Amino acid sequence: MLRACSLADLEDGKPFPVELADTPIVLVRSGDEVHALRDECTHAEIALAEGELTRKGLECWLHGSCFDLRTGAPSSPPATEPVAVYAVTVDGDDVLVDPDCRTN
């Protein structure tokens, strides 16, 4: 597990990009939960951190596919492949992510 940021860095519902071990990752805090997804849309090489959180998940700003925060699955085309989701642990104020551990 690598320290990604402080929990206080994460605003609820606001994507927060980090890079860990050469892996682009976007963190999303949703209530008490923190999710870590690969920061790259599976339709094209677009940073998901530039999108918005919607009821369906993290929305790619370019063509509108939304990725589920837990499964990484897109809710609608044009993306058809899930984005990688990584293991996250919150330890006190530290947000830890394992970029080598996909959970989907």
| Site residues, ligand FES (CB under 6 A) | 41, 43-44, 46, 60, 62-63, 65, 78-79
Q: How far is the CB of 29 from ligand FES (least distance, A)?
A: 22
CB closer to ligand FES out of 44 and 101: 44
- Within 28-78, residue ranges assigned H as helices are none
Both structure tokens of 18: 């980090």
Closest approach, Cβ 11 to ligand FES, in A, equals 23
Partnered with residue 34 across adjacent β-strands are 29
Nearer Cβ to ligand FES, position 20 or 83?
83
| Residue 102 beta carbon to ligand FES: minimum distance, rounded to whole angstroms | 20
Give the CA-trace dihedral at 19, 62, 87, 55, to 10 degrees. Answer: 140
